[in-house]
Amino acid sequence: MSVFERLRVGLRRTTDQLVGRFDRLVADGADASGVGAVAATTSIDTLDTLEELLIEADIGVSATTQLLAAVRDEAGNADLGTVVKRELLGLLEAAAPAPVTGASPRVVLVVGVNGTGKTTTVGRLARLLTLSGERPVICAADTFRAAAVEQLEVWAKRVEADFVRARPGADPAAVVFDAISACKARGRDVVLVDTAGRLHTRANLMGELDKIRRVAGRAVDGAPHETLLVLDATVGQNGLAQARAFLESAGVTGVVLTKLDGTAKGGIAVAITAELGVPVRYVGVGEQLDDLVPFSAAEYVEALFEPVW
């Protein structure tokens, strides 16, 4: 399937929740020619229904407020679906600066709490990079959980990526330094660093991430060039608290949303960008090797509402 088709499948539960009610909302606002104009959307009932739909999809208070304001401003002048899609797209694109390119090697930290699919994300990201012609080195910087290192090594073999590990209990920052050195020596392109899962409330563990960042920066100018926070889409708004803490302590530059296919609240991608100003870089839409896909704001919005408009 194409990226769009996989996004559409991944968002199916969210779309299923929205489709019927949005259909009715658009029909209720239709003018005499059958166009879903925003002529009636200044009514309290219509605005309340729209607000309820957006909040239930986990689009968030900030983004919902902006969308409702746009609907009021466009009253009588535009199609309801067009306004909502346009505003969603604008919110998503506003927080999507291009990732750093040109560094040699490029260093990408992958961070997050336990249970979000972080290690699996590293393996799938290595697969994506390999398919695009890059040669990744996977670094197992989680030196506290032997099972995590073993799982990551299996992934490295599956995607045919180089793998750097250390003995249990080794300094994670030292492992990252070794991985960067190996990447340079072998002429590889990018280092993917799988860090230990940590609660955002644990100051000592968040401090460890700061050390990793400092060491990486000494090994390669500007490193880490990207820090990806892995969030479980099924936790919805609760993930925003995690994201805020990691944003402050780990310099997060992008988000990976996993398990998007397992939630009816796929609008969390909009909440993240609107409230935190951090772009979504990738989304997980299934259990297969290739079910991590690059995030496209335009395709996301189309996949979210295509059955309706």
Residue 166 is predicted with a pLDDT of 82
Do 59 and 271 contact (CB within 8 A), yes or no? Answer: yes
> What pLDDT, in 10s, does the model give residues 282-297?
999 888 888 999 999 9
11/102: higher pLDDT: 11
What pLDDT is stored for residue 33 in this prediction?
41
Say yes or no to pLDDT of 117 above 60. yes
User: Is the entire prediction scored with pTM above 0.85?
Assistant: yes
Amino acid 120: pLDDT: 93
Closest by Cα among 212, 270, 244 to 59: 270
Distance between first and last Cα of the chain? 22
pLDDT of residue 98: 65
DSSP 225: S
- 59 contact partners, CB below 8 Å, separation of at least 6: 67, 88, 267, 268, 270, 271, 274
Question: 29 pLDDT band (50/70/90 cuts)?
Answer: low
The beta strands (E) that lie in the chain are given as 106-111, 136-140, 162-164, 190-194, 226-232, 254-258, 280-284, 292-294
pLDDT band, residue 96 (cuts 50/70/90): low
Bigger pLDDT: 123 vs 12? 123
Please say if the pLDDT value at position 125 is more than 50.
yes
Backbone angles phi, psi at 223, to 5 degrees: -75, 150
Residue 89 three-state SS = helix
Starting at the edge strand that comes first in sequence, how are the strands of the sheet with 106-111 ordered?
162-164, 136-140, 190-194, 106-111, 226-232, 254-258, 280-284, 292-294
For 173-261, strand residue ranges (E) read 190-194, 226-232, 254-258
pLDDT confidence of 263, banded at 50, 70, 90?
A: confident
The pLDDT value recorded for residue 41 is 47
Would you state the structure tokens that stand for residue 260, as one six-digit string? Answer: 């998007």
292 DSSP β-pair partners: 284
DSSP code, position 234: G
For residues 246 and 229, which has the higher predicted lDDT (pLDDT)? Answer: 229
Contacts of 257 (CB under 8 A, 6+ apart): 231, 233, 268, 269, 272, 280, 282, 283, 284, 295
CA distance 254 to 256: 7
Q: What are phi and psi of 191, to 5 degrees?
A: -110, 120
Residue 308's pLDDT band, with cuts at 50, 70 and 90, is very low
User: Could you tell me the maximum CA-CA distance found in the chain, to the nearest angstrom?
Assistant: 72
Residue 199, pLDDT above cutoff 70: no
Average pLDDT over residues 231-258: 85
- How far is it, in rounded angstroms, from Cα 2 to Cα 49? 33
Q: Helix 118-131 to helix 146-159 angle, to the nearest 10 degrees?
A: 20
